[in-house]
Amino acid sequence: MDENIKKKLVEKNENLINMVIERAKRDFPEDIAIIGLSGSFSTGDFHEKSDLDLIIINNTYRGWEISSAFILDDVGYDIYCTPWDTRIEAEANLESPMVSCLTNMKVLYCAKPEYLERLKAYQKKALDELAKPIGIASLARAEKCINKAKQYYSEALLSDEIGAVRYASGNLSFEVINAINCLNNTCFQHGLRRYLDELRTLKYLPENFEKTYMDIVNSKSVVEIRSAAFILLKDIATLYDKMYAELIEHPVPTYDNLNGTYEELWCNLRNKVINSTQAKDKSYAFLTAVCAQDYLDEMTADRGTKKFNVMKYFSSDALDAFRESFMQIMDKYLDEYKKVGREVIHYDSFEELYKAYMGNES
């Protein structure tokens, strides 16, 4: 960039910054806590049409009145507020892709020392999280992004208008990109223009990520967009599963953590399976099978039991066979009890139950 143009941009930004600070001091001394700088002019990666990214942290709703949007010399500016308890909090918890706006913020104005201390605490929280090794917390954040990406994929399927499908796939791409950052426990240091450059440097990336992403960008039809979006979604989910299996310590069944789980399976699902299949009630049986799968998946995730595939055996045209298969699954779950030395709690009479439950051994 020409040095004269660069000098004029810097001078213009200084004038804008001083204008906003002057307004904050004059009209919002109690409402505006901090004014900071982020974005391209903070990192030095700006061009002639770059706008000025000010972070104005407001204490009160009245502070929003400092906001303004305007065009100056063919460049648009959007001066807006960033509340403590929403965006700053989210960035500190790494729940926003704009974490570096917080961690790299250059403070230009601070109304009171305690506000600066509060900001530093938020910055430290974010930096401490980023310094941690990749683990359950970063994978949990990635999972949230992947789930959002799945929602956008469903939107891409539900519309036949190419603009709507392309928009949904774009939002899906954003969420996949956010998930990649979470899986690497990092954040972007620059704006959209540098996203791909930064992603290329990361250790954990979906297979053929850049090609698949650009397939979405270059798609010319609804079919092409959906196909590329599906591959991108499938690949990030595969990467997540692989990392989860390798990096996370999984629970194992124990005498204590299996306590009551077989009895609950019997209580909530066994007799429903029997009743629904004997009555040939296909809907009842189907919904019961879904509930059974959900419960057994929960036991696998939380207690470490083996994986049971209930839905594999469901067929509305063979409900008797499904019932038999479910009973076999229950027997296999009982084997989990036997492995840890636990017996099923079963009583032949109310009197026997009463004595045990009330602690009466006489």
pLDDT digits (tens, 9 = 90+) for 75-129: 888 888 989 998 899 999 999 888 998 999 999 999 999 999 999 999 999 999 9
Q: Is the pLDDT of residue 361 over 60?
A: no
> Please, which pLDDT band fits residue 1 given cuts at 50, 70 and 90?
low
Q: What pLDDT does residue 40 have?
A: 63
Q: Mean pLDDT, the chain, as a whole number?
A: 93
Q: What pLDDT does residue 294 have?
A: 98
Q: CA angle, corner 208, sides to 206 and 212, nearest 5?
A: 100
Cα–Cα distance for residue pair 270/329, rounded to 1 Å: 10
Residue spans in the chain of domains classed CATH 3.30.460.10: 3-131
Q: Is the pLDDT of residue 26 over 90?
A: yes
* Residue 81 and residue 58 in contact, taking contact as beta carbons nearer than 8 Å: yes
* Residue 93 and residue 140 in contact, taking contact as beta carbons nearer than 8 Å: no
> Please, which pLDDT band fits residue 286 given cuts at 50, 70 and 90?
very high
pLDDT digits (tens, 9 = 90+) for 241-260: 999 999 988 999 999 999 99
Q: Please state the three-class secondary structure of 137-184 as a single string.
A: HHHHHHHHHHHHHHHHHHHHHHCCCHHHHHHHHHHHHHHHHHHHHHHC
Q: What pLDDT does residue 44 have?
A: 61
Q: Is the pLDDT of residue 360 over 70?
A: no
Query: What residues form DSSP beta bridges with 34?
Result: 57, 110
Please state the rounded mean pLDDT for residues 43-63: 79
Q: What pLDDT does residue 191 have?
A: 82
Q: Is the pLDDT of residue 47 over 80?
A: no
* Residue 262 and residue 333 in contact, taking contact as beta carbons nearer than 8 Å: yes
* Residue 77 and residue 56 in contact, taking contact as beta carbons nearer than 8 Å: no
Q: Is the pLDDT of residue 362 over 70?
A: no
- Helices marked H in the chain — which ranges? 3-27, 40-43, 89-92, 99-103, 113-131, 136-158, 162-183, 195-200, 209-218, 222-247, 261-265, 271-278, 282-303, 319-339, 350-358
* Residue 175 and residue 148 in contact, taking contact as beta carbons nearer than 8 Å: yes
* Residue 252 and residue 299 in contact, taking contact as beta carbons nearer than 8 Å: no
Q: Is the pLDDT of residue 333 over 80?
A: yes
Residue spans in the chain of domains classed CATH 1.20.120: 136-247
The topology (CATH level 3) of 136-247 is: Four Helix Bundle (Hemerythrin (Met), subunit A) (1.20.120)
Q: Is the pLDDT of residue 205 over 60?
A: yes
Please return the burial class of 302, using the count of CB atoms within 10 Å of its CB with bins 0-12, 13-18 and 19+.
exposed
Please state the rounded mean pLDDT for residues 182-187: 95
pLDDT digits (tens, 9 = 90+) for 129-163: 999 999 999 999 999 999 999 999 999 999 999 99
Regarding predicted confidence, which is higher, 295 or 98? 295
Q: Which superfamily, per CATH, for 3-131?
A: Beta Polymerase, domain 2 (3.30.460.10)
pLDDT digits (tens, 9 = 90+) for 207-224: 999 999 999 999 999 999
Cα–Cα distance for residue pair 121/113, rounded to 1 Å: 13
| pTM listed for this prediction | 0.85
